[in-house]
């Protein structure tokens, strides 16, 4: 019996020890207070959730703007490379035509030294004038600089094509002058 009494007291003491804090909290909280605390917890969770959503939206918007900036920079770089390639091709063709003019002049001088009449070829060769090419190339460079500063360069592309075609027409005219003068040299 002694053991059972000891055990009973021990169990009772343990029960009171473990349940005392629970009773103390429950005794200070009324049902209205617990509902209020639950609402506050829910409101706090909603606010945290909304803040989290807002930060996600901000980071997504920042990512989009960064992507747009990178893409626009890539597009501008590609455009610039294309324009540089076009200008290089046009200048290379002019240099080729100029070197051909020099060779034709040398051939004219040889024919003149041999006593042949090459006055018609000389007159035709004097028509080789690069001022139209230079003016149209300057207009092309202006078009290119405008395109590089515009946000949507597609709108100015038809004007650029027209300017490039004008420069090519000038080069074709210079080529035709050289061909005609060479034909006149060959005839004599």
Question: pLDDT at position 151, please?
Answer: 79
135 pLDDT band, cuts 50/70/90, is very high
Structure tokens at 119: 């006055």
pLDDT tens-place string over residues 141-164: 999 998 888 878 888 889 999 999
Of 20-24, 47-51, 66-70, 115-119, where does the model show the most confidence?
115-119
pLDDT mean over 29-36: 64
Structure tokens at 86: 């076009």
> For the whole model, what pTM was predicted?
0.64
For residue 7, the number of C-alpha atoms closer than 13 Å in the C-beta half-sphere is 4
Instruction: Name, in order, each residue with C-beta under 8 angstroms of 147's C-beta and a sequence gap of 6 or more.
Output: 79, 83, 153, 156, 157, 160
pLDDT tens-place string over residues 38-55: 777 777 778 888 888 888
Answer yes or no: is pLDDT of 73 > 80: yes
Q: Give DSSP secondary structure letters for 1-49.
A: -HHHHHHHHHHHHHHHHHHHHHHHHHHH--HHHHHHHHHHHHHHHHHHH
Q: Is 25 left (phi over 0), alpha (psi -120 to 50) or beta?
A: alpha
Question: pLDDT at position 20, please?
Answer: 59
Structure tokens at 115: 């006593």
What 3-state class would DSSP assign to 79?
Answer: helix
Q: How far apart are the C-alpha atoms of 170 and 136, rounded to whole Å?
A: 8
Which range among 39-53, 76-90, 96-110 shows the weakest confidence by mean pLDDT?
A: 39-53
188 pLDDT band, cuts 50/70/90, is confident
User: By the 8 A CB rule, do 163 and 140 touch?
Assistant: yes
In percent, the amount of the chain with pLDDT more than 70 equals 86
Q: How far apart are the C-alpha atoms of 4 and 172, rounded to whole Å?
A: 121
Tell me which of 183 and 40 has the higher pLDDT. 183
Q: What are phi and psi of 67, to 5 degrees?
A: -65, -45
């Amino acid at each position: 019996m002694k053991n059972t009494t000891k055990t009973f007291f021990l169990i009772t003491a343990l029960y009171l020890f473990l349940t005392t804090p629970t009773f103390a909290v429950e005794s200070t909280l009324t049902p209205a207070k617990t509902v209020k605390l639950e609402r506050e917890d829910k409101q706090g969770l909603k606010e945290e959730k909304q803040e989290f959503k807002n930060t996600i939206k901000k980071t997504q918007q920042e990512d989009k703007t960064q992507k747009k900036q990178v893409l626009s920079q890539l597009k501008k770089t590609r455009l610039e490379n294309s324009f540089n390639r076009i200008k290089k091709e046009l200048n290379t063709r002019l240099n080729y035509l100029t070197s051909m003019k020099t060779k034709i002049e040398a051939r004219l001088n040889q024919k003149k030294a041999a006593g042949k009449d090459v006055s018609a070829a000389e007159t035709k060769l004097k028509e080789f004038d690069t001022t139209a090419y230079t003016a149209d190339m300057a207009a092309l460079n202006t078009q290119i600089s405008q395109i590089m500063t515009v946000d949507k360069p597609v709108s100015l592309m038809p004007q650029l094509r027209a300017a490039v075609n004008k420069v090519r027409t000038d080069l074709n005219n210079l080529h035709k002058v050289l061909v005609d003068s060479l034909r006149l040299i060959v005839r004599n």
